Amino acid sequence: MFAILFPGQGSQFRGMGADVFGHYPGITRFACDLLGYDLPARCRDNQDDVLSRTECTQPALFTVNALHAFERERREGRPADYYLGHSLGEYNALLAAGVFDFETGLRIVQKRGELMAAASGGGMTAVMNTPADRLLEVLGADGVEGVETAAHNTDTQVVIAGADGALRAAHASLRARGIRFAPLRVGAAFHSRAMESARTEFEVFLRQFTFAEPAVTVISNASARPYEGSMIPEMLCRQIVEPVRWAESVRYLLDRDASLEYEEIGGTSLVRMVKSIEKSSPRGTLTKSGV
């Protein structure tokens, strides 16, 4: 079996899309018109670090990921048996599976970015070499409150989210215990209860759209199981406030084919995660197939 992976927020960088914008001038102009700004210029210049602003990051990354996927199709790359996307990347997975078209996906992602940006405050931190249960136990013992698990990336990397004060307390606890951590470049506590107001508004927004059944299996971040057409709006809303179950999603595929091959669109961060998951998996070996 073969899986294609799509990266999410945090994988953006100045100059992204330069290799594909020119190949798809019509789609690029359409995206600029819909968003109301010159997307290639923003990606090229990143003036005032605009790509770090959630309301810009998400539609920009969705568009660049989509163009890379279109380019791969144009080259007649190997068809996927599964699509997986990390957080924002899940929308590219659903686009690739035919759940919605590019315009619908961009409109949805634009709204998602706006709502999540409006629920600003707090942040996220990656914690290394400490399982989630043990991490929460440690923080609780040190009196740290208001911190939630936001992503289970690998067995050796968990992401926590919370208000600024809660994260400062968590950092002090981790530092005192010699636990490695790295604050992430995000402006809010994504994938946590802090996003509840965004989830509520997003649920209402999604009611205007109709979604098709995935033509190729897409694994949901929220459930770590395949999407079903009737559940798409619910799962997209849950994804905003629940942890990204990435490690479990990968293991779901490993359980079905220990020799699964995979490819990441536009990056290598997910490839590194999958390799880490594979090392701790008792089942076979994942093999990388050209990035």
Encode pLDDT of 246-266 as tens digits: 999 999 999 998 888 999 998
Domains identified in the chain, total number: 2
| Same domain as 106, residue 27 | yes
Q: How confident is the model at residue 159 (pLDDT cuts 50, 70, 90)?
A: very high
The enclosing domain of 113 has a CATH number of 3.40.366.10
Contacts of residues 128-132 at CB distance under 8 Å and 24 or more positions apart, as own/partner, are 128/156, 128/157, 128/179, 128/180, 128/181, 128/182, 129/156, 129/179, 129/180, 130/158, 130/179, 131/155, 131/158, 132/158
Q: How confident is the model at residue 290 (pLDDT cuts 50, 70, 90)?
A: very low
**Residue 281 scores a pLDDT above 80:** no
| Same domain as 162, residue 86 | no
**Rounded CA separation 254/282 (Å):** 10
Tell me the average pLDDT across 165-189: 95
| Same domain as 41, residue 156 | no
Tell me the average pLDDT across 32-52: 96
Q: Is 76 part of any domain?
A: yes
The enclosing domain of 168 has a CATH number of 3.30.70.250
Structure token pair of residue 233 = 């709006």
**Rounded CA separation 89/80 (Å):** 16
Q: How confident is the model at residue 287 (pLDDT cuts 50, 70, 90)?
A: very low
| Same domain as 155, residue 199 | no
**Rounded CA separation 88/266 (Å):** 14
Q: How confident is the model at residue 121 (pLDDT cuts 50, 70, 90)?
A: confident
| Same domain as 268, residue 140 | no
- Write out the residue range of the structural domain in which residue 141 sits: 122-184
| Same domain as 179, residue 196 | no
DSSP state string for 164-229 = HHHHHHHHHHHHHTT--EEE-S-SB--SSGGGHHHHHHHHHHHTT---PPPSSEEE-TTTSSB--G
SS3 239: helix
**Residue 291 scores a pLDDT above 60:** no
| Same domain as 84, residue 199 | yes
Q: Is 168 part of any domain?
A: yes
Last residue of some domain: 134, 162, 184?
A: 184
| Same domain as 258, residue 198 | yes
**Residue 236 scores a pLDDT above 70:** yes
Last residue of some domain: 141, 163, 184?
A: 184
Q: Is 290 part of any domain?
A: no
Strand-by-strand arrangement of the 147-154 sheet: 147-154, 157-162, 123-128, 181-183
| Same domain as 171, residue 147 | yes
Which CA distances in Å does 87 have to 42, 63, 191, 282?
A: 22, 15, 9, 26
Query: Is 191 in the active site?
Result: yes
pLDDT digits (tens, 9 = 90+) for 62-89: 999 999 999 999 998 899 999 999 999 9
Identify the pLDDT of residue 284.
42
Q: Is 255 part of any domain?
A: yes
Query: Is 87 in the active site?
Result: yes
**Residue 190 scores a pLDDT above 50:** yes
| Same domain as 83, residue 33 | yes
Q: Which stretch of DSSP H or E encloses residue 150?
A: strand 147-154
| Same domain as 174, residue 77 | no
Q: Is 287 part of any domain?
A: no
Active-site option among 11, 86, 87, 192 = 87
Tell me the average pLDDT across 206-212: 96
Would you tell me how many other CB atoms lie within 10 Å of the CB of residue 1? Answer: 13
Report phi then psi at 39, rounded to 5. -65, -45
Last residue of some domain: 146, 162, 184?
A: 184
| Same domain as 21, residue 156 | no
Which CA distances in Å does 257 have to 199, 213, 261?
A: 34, 23, 9
- Distance from CA of residue 128 to its chain's centroid? 19
Q: Output the CA torsion sign for 166, 172, 178, 184.
A: positive
Scan for tokens 């789609």, then name that residue. 27
Identify the pLDDT of residue 228.
84
pTM for the complete prediction?
0.93
Active-site option among 191, 192, 220, 249 = 191
Q: Is 291 part of any domain?
A: no
Q: Is 253 part of any domain?
A: yes
Q: Is 288 part of any domain?
A: no
Taking each helix axis as running N to C, give the angle between helix 164-176 and helix 132-141, from 0 to 180 degrees, rounded to the nearest 10: 100
Q: How confident is the model at residue 282 (pLDDT cuts 50, 70, 90)?
A: low
Helix/strand/coil (H/E/C) assignment for every residue in 16-71: CCCCCHHHCHHHHHHHHHHHCCCHHHHHHHCHHHHHHCHHHHHHHHHHHHHHHHHH
